[in-house]
Chain A
Amino acid sequence: MKPSLPIFVASFAGLGYAVLGVPPTPTAKAQVSFDRDIMPILGQKCFKCHGPDVAKAAAGLRLDSFTGATTKLYDGKAIVPGDVEKSLMLKRVNAPNLGMRMPPPDSGVKPLSPDQIQTLTTWIKQGAKYEKHWSYVPPSLPPMPKVRNAAWCKNPIDRLVLAKLESEGFQPEVEADRDTLAMRASETLTGLPPRKDILDSYRKDTKPGAYERYVDRLMDQPTYGEHQARYWLDAVRYADTHGLQLDNERGIYPYRDWVVRAYNMDLPFDKFVVDQLAGDLLPNPTTEDRIATGYVRANLTSNEGGAIEEEFLARNTFDRVDTTSTIFLGLTVQCAKCHDHKFDPIKQKDYYGLYAFFNSTKDNPLDGNVLLPPPVVRAETDEEAKEIALIQEKMNRARSTVAIKQATDALTKNQSHPPETSHWQISQVSSAANFDEAFEKPFPGEPGYKVPGAWKAFTFQPDKNYAGVIGKDNSAVYVSGILTFSTATTYSFGVSSDDAVKVWLNGKLIHSNKTSRGVDQAIDKVQGDFRAGNNELVVKIINGSGPDGLNIHLVGDLQARIAQAISDLAKAPLSIRLQNVVKDLYFSTHSGSDPAKAFLSLEKQKKAIEDSIPMSLVAEEMPKPRPTFILKRGLYDQKGDSVERHIPPAIGSLPSGVKADRLSFAKWLISPQNPLVARVYVNRMWQQNFGCGIVKTSEDFGSQGEWPINQPLLDYLAVSFREGGWSTKKLNRMIVTSATFRQSSRVSAVKLTKDPENRLLSRGPRYRLDAEVIRDKALMAGGLLLEKLGGRGFKPYQPDGLWEGASDPASETHFYVKDKDQSIYRRSMYLFWKRTSPPPVMLTFDAPLRDTCTVRRSTTNTPLQALATMNEPAFLEASRTMASRLLQSKDDDNSKIRRAFEIALGRIPRPGEISVLQKALVHFRQKYSKDVKSARALVSVGDSPQPKSMNTSEQACWMLVCSTLMNTDEFLTLH
């Protein structure tokens, strides 16, 4: 039964195929291909000295271009096309005299093999044609090859795969059985086994196209977007902390949730790309567009003491460039950071041309160790936006009750100016045994202290950071000054301190904050009643350890705003915006009236709503780009020539006349002229579904990467993806409904020998599931999985001491506090990701640290993984609650075992499998029927409550049966 696929046929027809089965282009096997056969030899053996790295071309010879290779040098030409005798290159690689031999014996490069010399010889004989690397030539639709077993094909993927298989003498495998297919499709699309109702309706659906309908249903689940997003999040190195040094939390999860939404709504990939790279530069960007630019901010950042801003600007930008080029172009450009690329046509200048697109965002290169280093956006939903708008309307009404003149006059009259300051002094430094004592204890300098302070004059200015005023740990210092007001005023100002602070006004303590922080991290608001004339201000700074510092922000926030408004009033005509500003300030300073009360209460409401909405890091472009220079050897302080924003000429260029910015760059990425982006992405989608890409080195499409095993297939997918509206759902559907994907994954000895890695797709996919899927499957089997979209990362069970051991005690993520509610049962993609100590089970199963771009995880097989699935509390708890599910029925053991297989593996057990578990049960019962205490200990794992009237011994036995199933290869493997 081969149901026809409407979507597919439509897009197929749209691509202009008139007839299926265009005969394949004849391939002359003896024809040597430059790109496939010659380039790897030249790259490995010659380019070290004769490559595109101009600065180093030895003897003036370059072998990376036809012109270079055929240029006449003093003793002839390296290559004379068609003339083997005259081509000096062949003489030199064959030279018996080691002094003449290429590559030179002392170069560290091994000599060419006889095969390689033969290949070079044939190539020169055939005319020494140079051609562009395959991936730099934009893809076009391949002709559809003829195949013998056309009936097997369900869509063009199959025809392209089958042509390859047949040419290798293989036949595809039969289709996998329904249960296997149901599990496989669900795991690959949603990262979970199918929900019971979806599975049941698939099983009941006997009409043609049942599988396709099942696939559609899976893709409609919100779990689909979550699972698809997870691969993207690996690539963009998404995490919930900054990554370096203190590794404090950062607020960017709305970006993660945006990616989930994008996949669920099937946001076209071109928009997906543009929004992330340059949503802020779109005309009238929406909140969503801006959230998407979290992509640009996802790099690691630091605020290490002593860090040099310019150095970190360079580091951050390198990270952005390298990540962007790997994700979208499949190119490794970082070699060109220090020198022209040795293999690929990326010059150092081109690297910095790309760099220039990313080095002019407004975010400070150092993150300040804060949750929301600006710029940030409030990630409000449409409903929230409406609610806020409603309140704003009411606030406008309140504003309309006040005449602008009344507000202006009142403000001008009551304007308070920052005081004059003078006589700044600093006391001696006093030390204590510890921080507590240093904070509590009075020392010389404190108002009212028995010993007067030994003051020294201090060159001090308000609103300026002073570092190193103490210089010792567990010590304190006092700074005092005179503030002069013309009239008695209640005046508020700010104090920043590293670490703790106390403030006295005219001998009276008015502020105290025992805290540990950097001077840039926060401003304490302090309000004091100042008298007319001189006032004495004393500030005590207490340092716990490390650096210390002080800043007295005398121009308070409100004063600054009033002063600004009054100065604006003097300059500009009264705009609505300015009117609002003035009236709001008026309400704040004259809060007695009814309209003011109403207004301030609305303002409070609005703030409460706004505060409940998460903020997210976004990109914003500086008004004027930073100048960019080549950085010699990649060192930030070794500037070379200046560079303009540009795309490496070998792979493309911006259209003439456009402004060179991130937006144009993003648009170029998704333009039909771009040879790489569609190929690179469909290849990763293929990798997601089959465990290995068509180009295995999915991170490298350059000349040193692997050649596509089936380029027509890759190009077909790339072009139809682009021309078909960049729909990731369509792409996934095409792959998952192909006959290729639906093959059984059983492997014969012959295929295992000849196609060991299944690169030819001679059978269905089979690979170990990713960390997240394994944990989620266990929770689902235990009936524990909590499906909830989005939100802050959650913290489940974790062994004590992991965060503490990996972090500075000053870090806000030093102590791990497990969540106390149901959120510990959420999907793993929402795990709170601390970069310097990610969730341990995830790491054990090969999840990346998320500190560099990862487009391909390794898949290892270690005993630590066995220990995790056997002993980690979440897995044990899931087997306990799964056992409770089984014990709810009064069925016999056999039926319970069947049910357990159904839950954990989605299939009916074979008799041999039932007897294995029956035998184990006998032993388990011998133990736990007598030893109830041990049984009770075993089933006590996890937070979830125990059902009442559960037979503890039986539950313990069945818990182990469930745990056994969760540790089988089948549970851990997509097959």
Chain B
Amino acid sequence: MDPIREAELMMTRRQLFGKATLGIGSAALNRLLTLGGLGSVASLASAFGDQANHGLPGIPNFAPKAKRVIYLFMSGGPSQLDLWDYKPKLNDLFNTDLPDQIRRGQRITTMTSGQTRFPIAPSRYRFQKADNGGDGVWVSELLPHTSQVVSELCIVKSMWTEAINHDPATTFIQTGSQLPGRPSMGSWLSYGLGSMNENLPTYVVLHSKVSSNKPNQAVYPRLWGSGFLPSEYQGVALRSQGDPVLYLNDPSGMDRSIRRTMLDSVDALNNQQLSSFGDPEIAARIKQYELAYRLQASVPDLMDLSKESPETLELYGKDAHEPGTFAANCLLARRMVQRGVRFIQIFHRGWDLHSNLTGDLPSQTKDVDQGCAALIKDLKRTGLLEDTLVVWAGEFGRTVYCQGPLSKENYGRDHHPRAFTIWMAGGGVKPGIVYGNTDDFGYNIVDKDGIAIDPSVENFTPGAVHVHDLQATILNQLGIDHTKLTYHYQGRDFRLTDVHGHVVKDLIT
């Protein structure tokens, strides 16, 4: 082969920006091209409102219904059978065996695969029909507040996933892949859509306190990480303990005027360096230090709830006064939405109820119920619900059969990926609907005739919503064709929905 080949090909703009623009050099180039008036090119976005961060050219692909997302993640797998998926016929089947024609040989975890029986555990909770502006929807007594807002909710009872253990399932719903290494949904959106504000991160993560003190599933940076995208797109965790953003606060003994002087000196030294070296990266660094200074004011302002009206605080309940609770986080999410944060994810843990379900589930729902409802109401009355998509979901559901000892009063449920319930609200999803059905055992997704269906990943199965379908639909609401938000890495155009995913048209207006 020809050993000395010219490389002029590499410098065409199309190829340059078609490839991963990692590294300092490309960042410099982007700025240079932007400054030099060489036309509109993809500029290097920043997790913070760098003015250069307008997202990717051509994205959104079409007019968005939603500008931002609040994603309420219930880690551990909430029991759909005790909250949303009402199965009154099960009451007569207490402690009878799950029929083989229902289980259909599907795999189960090794926590229960050794059980000699799979006895039915009917929910011990009462369900009531709540008004959703249509036929009404059955809601568990554990969700008294959420049941007041079901007319705003788009409830999906036929979610399904491929993973059966927490780590793979959570990684899957967050990043579209069961194996680590892919960007999370919020990172994809920061990368594609860019920032809407100058003073706060584009993608914020909030962790909520859990009242129950039982062990619960871990959540960790991979779940809001940027994978192979540049790390500036990763979620920024706001903390309720210590500095709200890591190292935000100046050390004790330093006041703002001292910090200002120190920063002015850094800037002056950097400017001298810039004029002697000419590297645009130095100019970028100067700007980041200014952003840091502004962040030191804008974050405390965000966290300060003292200007919220008594009615608002009342709406979220007394938990809202305690930083780090789910309710307080919901209120913060609304404040962030007002300040132009693109993607807010609130984690709440402890839903993995293998045993003592009725002992623990009420405390879980009490943690989140009022916050969820308050958030919907608050967004609605401020007019923000229209273009804010709210999502409530876990990584999978729970089995109808009991794990461990069974009584009418108490039982445990194992992981169930074949059918579970999530809901969405606002942002152009249909309010007051229920989508999808499960059989009388809540075990399989069924079609409108009640026949069990085996949904496939490859082809969209009407009535069933795969994790990739949910992701495609969320992206769609933000004006993004999920097949077009891609990143070229290791020889392949990666996307959130891998090679699957379909927009579920029935869920959206």
Interface segment, B122-130, B285-293, B423-431, B435-443? Answer: B285-293
* Contact partner, B25, options A35, A318, A691, A851, Cβ 8 Å: A691
Q: Which residues of B contact A482 (CB under 8 A)?
A: none
Give, as a whole number of angstroms, the nearest-CB distance from B52 to chain A: 11
Assuming A300-B180, A472-B355, A964-B265, is B32 touching A753 (CB within 8 A)?
yes
B167 touches A429 (CB 8 A): no
A706 touches B218 (CB 8 A): no
Q: Which residues of A contact B165 (CB under 8 A)?
A: 302, 304, 306-307
A837 touches B221 (CB 8 A): yes
> Which of A547, A859, A937 is most buried by chain B, counting CB atoms within 10 A of its CB?
A859
Q: Which residues of A contact B230 (CB under 8 A)?
A: 858, 860
Q: Which residues of A contact B26 (CB under 8 A)?
A: 756-757
Q: Which residues of B contact A757 (CB under 8 A)?
A: 23, 25-26, 28-29
Give, as a whole number of angstroms, the nearest-CB distance from B397 to chain A: 14
Top 9 A-B residue pairs of the complex, sorted by shortest distance between their CB atoms: A471-B404, A757-B25, A306-B109, A938-B253, A704-B491, A937-B253, A836-B220, A852-B181, A866-B292
Q: Which residues of A contact B218 (CB under 8 A)?
A: 245-247, 806-808, 811, 836
Q: Which residues of B contact A913 (CB under 8 A)?
A: 269, 272
* Contact partner, B9, options A707, A860, A960, Cβ 8 Å: A707
Q: Check A699 for interface membership: any CB of B closer than 8 A.
A: yes
* Contact partner, A473, options B214, B285, B295, Cβ 8 Å: B214
Known A800-B242, A937-B251, A973-B281; further 12 A-B contacts with Cβ < 8 A: A304-B166, A308-B109, A318-B179, A766-B279, A808-B218, A864-B245, A866-B288, A867-B248, A934-B255, A960-B262, A968-B270, A969-B282
Give, as a whole number of angstroms, the nearest-CB distance from B142 to chain A: 19
Assuming A247-B218, A852-B180, is B355 touching A960 (CB within 8 A)?
no
Give, as a whole number of angstroms, the nearest-CB distance from A917 to chain B: 6
A753 touches B268 (CB 8 A): no
A853-903 residues at the B interface, CB under 8 angstroms:
856, 858-868, 870-872, 876
Contact with A along B168-196 (1 / 0, CB 8 A): 10000000001111000000000000000
B215 touches A24 (CB 8 A): no
Contact with A along B210-229 (1 / 0, CB 8 A): 00011111111110010001
Interface segment, B148-156, B231-239, B304-312, B334-342? Answer: B231-239
In the bound complex, how far is the Cα of B255 from the Cα of A836, in angstroms?
35
Contact with B along A302-325 (1 / 0, CB 8 A): 101111110000010011000000
Contact with B along A263-289 (1 / 0, CB 8 A): 000000000000000000000000000
A920 touches B265 (CB 8 A): yes
Q: Which residues of A contact B215 (CB under 8 A)?
A: 544-546, 808-810
In the bound complex, how far is the Cα of B23 from the Cα of A697, in angstroms?
11
Assuming A756-B28, A838-B221, is B483 touching A108 (CB within 8 A)?
yes
In the bound complex, how far is the Cα of B264 from the Cα of A917, in angstroms?
10
A-B contact pairs, 24 of them (CB 8 A): A300-B180, A304-B165, A306-B165, A332-B490, A545-B355, A692-B25, A699-B489, A704-B491, A707-B9, A746-B277, A747-B277, A748-B278, A757-B28, A766-B279, A799-B247, A807-B220, A858-B231, A859-B23, A862-B46, A870-B247, A871-B248, A924-B258, A927-B255, A967-B289
Assuming A691-B24, A697-B20, is B1 touching A964 (CB within 8 A)?
no
Q: Which residues of B contact A700 (CB under 8 A)?
A: 489-491
In the bound complex, how far is the Cα of B32 from the Cα of A753, in angstroms?
8
A711 touches B295 (CB 8 A): no
Q: Which residues of A contact B9 (CB under 8 A)?
A: 36-37, 707
Assuming A700-B491, A859-B22, A936-B253, is B110 touching A711 (CB within 8 A)?
no
Give, as a whole number of angstroms, the nearest-CB distance from B15 to chain A: 8
Q: Check B241 for interface membership: any CB of A closer than 8 A.
A: yes
In the bound complex, how far is the Cα of B242 from the Cα of A119, in angstroms?
60
Contact with A along B246-284 (1 / 0, CB 8 A): 111111111101100110111011101110111111101
Assuming A33-B2, A546-B354, A867-B248, is B241 touching A800 (CB within 8 A)?
yes
B246 — nearest CB in chain A belongs to which residue? A840
Q: Which residues of B contact A692 (CB under 8 A)?
A: 23, 25
Q: Which residues of B contact A304 (CB under 8 A)?
A: 165-167
Interface segment, B313-321, B370-378, B408-416, B444-452? Answer: B408-416
Q: Which residues of A contact B491 (CB under 8 A)?
A: 332, 335, 343-344, 697, 700, 702-705
B20 touches A862 (CB 8 A): no
* Contact partner, B288, options A863, A910, A970, Cβ 8 Å: A863
A698-745 residues at the B interface, CB under 8 angstroms:
699-700, 702-707, 709-712, 715, 745
Assuming A747-B277, A860-B231, is B410 touching A472 (CB within 8 A)?
yes
A143 — nearest CB in chain B belongs to which residue? B3
Give, as a whole number of angstroms, the nearest-CB distance from A30 to chain B: 11
In the bound complex, how far is the Cα of B216 from the Cα of A473, in angstroms?
13
A863 touches B291 (CB 8 A): yes
Contact with A along B447-478 (1 / 0, CB 8 A): 00000000000000000000000000000000
Q: Which residues of A contact B114 (CB under 8 A)?
A: 467-468
A696 touches B221 (CB 8 A): no
Number of interface residues of B (CB under 8 A): 118
In the bound complex, how far is the Cα of B403 from the Cα of A332, in angstroms?
42
Assuming A759-B10, A917-B265, is B253 touching A956 (CB within 8 A)?
yes
A806 touches B251 (CB 8 A): no
A140-187 residues at the B interface, CB under 8 angstroms:
142-143, 145, 163-164, 167
Number of interface residues of A (CB under 8 A): 152
Assuming A851-B180, A923-B261, is B247 touching A871 (CB within 8 A)?
yes
Assuming A756-B28, A836-B222, A837-B220, is B279 touching A747 (CB within 8 A)?
yes
Q: Which residues of A contact B246 (CB under 8 A)?
A: 799, 840, 844, 864, 867-868
Assuming A756-B25, A757-B29, is B269 touching A964 (CB within 8 A)?
yes
> Which of B164, B279, B414 is most buried by chain A, counting CB atoms within 10 A of its CB?
B279
B111 touches A871 (CB 8 A): no
Q: Check A843 for interface membership: any CB of B closer than 8 A.
A: yes
A309 — nearest CB in chain B belongs to which residue? B110
B269 touches A805 (CB 8 A): no
* Contact partner, A924, options B166, B261, B405, Cβ 8 Å: B261
A244 touches B167 (CB 8 A): yes
A868 touches B280 (CB 8 A): no
Contact with A along B3-29 (1 / 0, CB 8 A): 111110110000000011011111111
In the bound complex, how far is the Cα of B280 from the Cα of A836, in angstroms?
35
In the bound complex, how far is the Cα of B251 from the Cα of A747, in angstroms?
37
A916 touches B265 (CB 8 A): yes
Q: Which residues of B contact A27 (CB under 8 A)?
A: 2, 4-6
Q: Which residues of B contact A319 (CB under 8 A)?
A: 179
B276 — nearest CB in chain A belongs to which residue? A746
Assuming A308-B109, A747-B279, is B265 touching A711 (CB within 8 A)?
no
A547 touches B273 (CB 8 A): no
